[in-house]
Structure 1
Amino acid sequence: MQPTITVITLMTDDLEQAVSFYRDGLGLPTKGIVGDVNTDTQVAFFNLNDNLKLAIWPRRSLANQLGITPKGSGHMLSHNVTRQEQIDELASAAEQAGAELLKSPHWQPWGCYGAYFKDPDGHLWEITYNPAVDG
């Protein structure tokens, strides 16, 4: 399997201000804020190049999703895979290699199957499978 980083996630304390900065200030294309504030799924995606996206999540929402304390500057790298079973395999391999599994493989409210972990240095990672995208 070829590792593919497809999303760089940054955390923010003010999603509307961050969207304005990246959209209006830097000119990055976006559909704006999507998701539901009541389920901690609000996020804004910006197309960068090829298949790379920038995601901006409210710090508290992402921390709630991952079960961590929202503090400091935050980022997360996302690795998309082409088959659902790869999520289970990668989550297990990461844990065996020393990662702390924050959220076991599960179906997410937005329709993807994924898991979250912290690497041994504390960096956040998401591994995700989107059935709406052909591998």
Structure 2
Amino acid sequence: MKPAISYITLGVDDLEQAVVFYRDVLGLPTEGIIGTEFEHGAVAFFKMAGGLTFALWERDSIAHDCGVEKGGPDRTAMMLAHNVASADEVDTIMSGLPAEALVKPARELFWGGYGGVFSDPDGHLWEVVFNPRHGA
């Protein structure tokens, strides 16, 4: 088996609000919410570079589908990152976010990169970072 991640699904509490954030604020392409005709089926997919699919699915639906109890959100359980080609691109993305989304402003990082941290409406943390050693 060749290790690969093909889907990343984030559990959200308000699917419509999350889609608006990822589509309208971050500019990720999506066909919107699909599967609403099925109980626990409403989901939104975003096609990403490299064949990755990013999905948003309500936490209640994930719990139902997996047969587990819905837990409380934990902002530190996972952090996603978006590598970009320049420090200017980091600043452009970070400056386009609503003030309430900013967690840590863009700044020089101790290891020589440049980046900032924001959160989506459900508290999922994202780092936008430029790594001068590797590019985007």
Length-normalised TM-score, structure 2? 0.51
Q: Hey, what's the Cα distance between the residues in 1 that align with 2:72 and 2:49?
A: 28
Q: Which residue of 2 aligns with 1:69?
A: 69
Structure 2 residue identity aligned to 1:4: A
Give aligned pairs, total. Answer: 76
Question: Which SS does the other structure have where 2:63 is aligned?
Answer: helix
Q: Hey, what's the Cα distance between the residues in 2 that align with 1:62 and 1:15?
A: 12
Question: Which SS does the other structure have where 1:40 is aligned?
Answer: coil
Gaps of 5+ in 2: 79-136
Q: Which residue of 1 aligns with 2:50?
A: 50
Gaps of 5+ in 1: 77-135
Shift of 1:73: 2.6
After superposition, residues 1-135 of structure 1 pair within 5 angstroms as 1-36=1-36, 38-73=38-73
Q: Which residue of 2 aligns with 1:133?
A: none
Of Structure 1 and Structure 2, the greater strand share is in: 1
From the superposition, tell whether residues 58 and 36 of structure 1 become closer, same or farther in structure 2 (CA, over 3 Å): same
Q: CA RMSD in A?
A: 2.0
Q: Hey, what's the Cα distance between the residues in 2 that align with 1:38 and 1:7?
A: 21
Q: Hey, what's the Cα distance between the residues in 2 that align with 1:35 and 1:71?
A: 23
Shift of 1:38: 3.9
Shift of 1:41: 1.3
4+ residue runs over 6 A deviation = none
Question: Which SS does the other structure have where 1:63 is aligned?
Answer: helix
Structure 1 residue identity aligned to 2:32: G
C-alpha offsets along residues 2-37 of structure 1, whole Å, 9 cap, x if unaligned?
A: 122111110111000000000000000001001135
Q: Give the percent of matched residue pairs that are identical in Structure 1 and Structure 2.
A: 50
Q: Hey, what's the Cα distance between the residues in 2 that align with 1:72 and 1:48?
A: 28
